[in-house]
């Protein structure tokens, strides 16, 4: 997310800003999915395999 904000602040091309935005969004989703699985496992529940 920092790189995305920095690119915006520096006036980088829109394509670069969008690429960094999508990357940040994707990485954020991976972290959220991981945390959900850790909590579910701690509670003794199984989740479907990740995609």
Whole-prediction pTM value?
0.73
* Per-residue pLDDT tens over the stretch 20-39: 999 999 999 999 999 999 99
What contacts 8, CB < 8 A, 6 or more positions away? 17
CB 8 within 8 A of CB 17: yes
User: Quick one: pLDDT band at residue 50, thresholds 50, 70, 90?
Assistant: confident
Q: Residue 13 carries which DSSP code?
A: -
């Amino acid at each position: 997310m920092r790189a995305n904000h920095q690119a915006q602040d520096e006036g980088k091309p829109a394509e670069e800003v969008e690429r960094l935005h999508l990357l940040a969004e994707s990485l954020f989703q991976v972290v959220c999915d991981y945390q959900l699985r850790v909590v579910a496992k701690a509670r003794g529940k199984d989740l479907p395999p990740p995609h």
